[in-house]
Amino acid sequence: MLPEPELFARCPLPGCSRFTDVQGQPCDDCRKAFGEMIAHTPGGAPLTAADQAARDAETLAAYSGHTAIIAAAVDQTGDDADEGVTRSNQLCWLCDQRRRCTRVDGRWECRDCATVV
C-alpha cells in the first residue's frame, strides 16, 4: 500500500525534507546549493507526489528493516549484560549523583537509594 501523498509538496531530492513550491521541483535551498547540477530532469517529467512517496516508502522500509535487525542484535547481546554489576562513578538515576552504583533493571542505582524503599 502506498502512503498518502502529503498536503504540501516536499523537495524531491533524497535526504531533503523541506517543502517546495512546485511538486517535483527542488526547494529553494537545494536550488541554491546545487544550482545547475539539478536542472536535468530525466524524461522531462517531474516526479509526481505519488511517485515520490512511493520511492521514499521503499527507502524508509529499507531503513526500518535495518533498524529492526540492529534492534534484534542488541536484544541478543542484551542491554542486561550489566545487570547486577557494581561500578564506581556511575550516575544514579534516583539521586542524580555520581556514585558507586549497581545495575538494577537496566539503570544504575547507588547503595543509599537501593536501601530506601
Residues 76-85: contacts with CB within 8 Å, 24+ apart?
A: 79/106, 80/106, 82/106
- Of the pair 73, 116, the CB lying nearest Zn ion is at 116
State the nearest-atom distance from the C-beta of 50 to Zn ion, in Å.
19
DSSP result, 1-66: -PPPPPSS-B--STT---B-SSTTS--HHHHHHHGGGG---GGG-PPPHHHHHHHHHHHHHHHHHH
State the nearest-atom distance from the C-beta of 74 to Zn ion, in Å.
26
- Of the pair 54, 93, the CB lying nearest Zn ion is at 93
- Of the pair 66, 100, the CB lying nearest Zn ion is at 100
Interaction site with Zn ion (CB under 5 A): 11, 13, 16, 18, 27, 30, 92, 94-95, 110, 113
- Of the pair 38, 54, the CB lying nearest Zn ion is at 38
State the nearest-atom distance from the C-beta of 93 to Zn ion, in Å.
8
Q: Residue 98 corresponds to which cell in the numbers above?
A: 555520581
DSSP result, 9-22: -B--STT---B-SS
State the nearest-atom distance from the C-beta of 85 to Zn ion, in Å.
16
